[in-house]
Amino acid sequence: MALVTTKEMFQKAFEGKYAIGAFNINNMEIIQGIVDGAKAQNSAVILQCSSGAIKYMRPEYLRHMVLAAVEETGVDVALHLDHGDSFELCKKCIDIGFTSVMFDGSHYDYEENVRLTKLKL
């Protein structure tokens, strides 16, 4: 089991006709509880983090906590940045190993939101 992409995870879920839970994380204890629960249910899981929470935890610390949870439990985990509020944060998360990001440009005017959303990371 490993850190996996949501594409890979969703394909298996589609073929197996089951759902994948996605849970917001803010600290080590929440990560442990979610991943332990996923292991107990023999389930993959998506751990997602908001821009605010990731700035609080710092991307590198978060990644290592998630990798430790994967190593300890053997659960397939997708690490997702949810509502990334800047292009730079999305790129940083991809660069350090997040398997999924979602850019949210809703705080920009419409034209800038569209321009940034079209950029390829």
d(CA 49, CA 53): 6
- pLDDT of amino acid 38: 97
Catalytic residue among 76, 82, 85, 104: 82
Across the chain, which has 121 residues, the per-10-residue mean pLDDT values are 90 95 96 97 96 88 94 96 90 92 91 84 56
82 is known as an active-site residue? yes
- pLDDT of amino acid 121: 56
Residues near 43 by beta carbon (within 8 Å), at least 6 away in sequence = 20, 21, 75
- pLDDT of amino acid 104: 87
- pLDDT of amino acid 1: 59
**Domains of the chain: residue spans and CATH:** 6-118 (3.20.20.70)
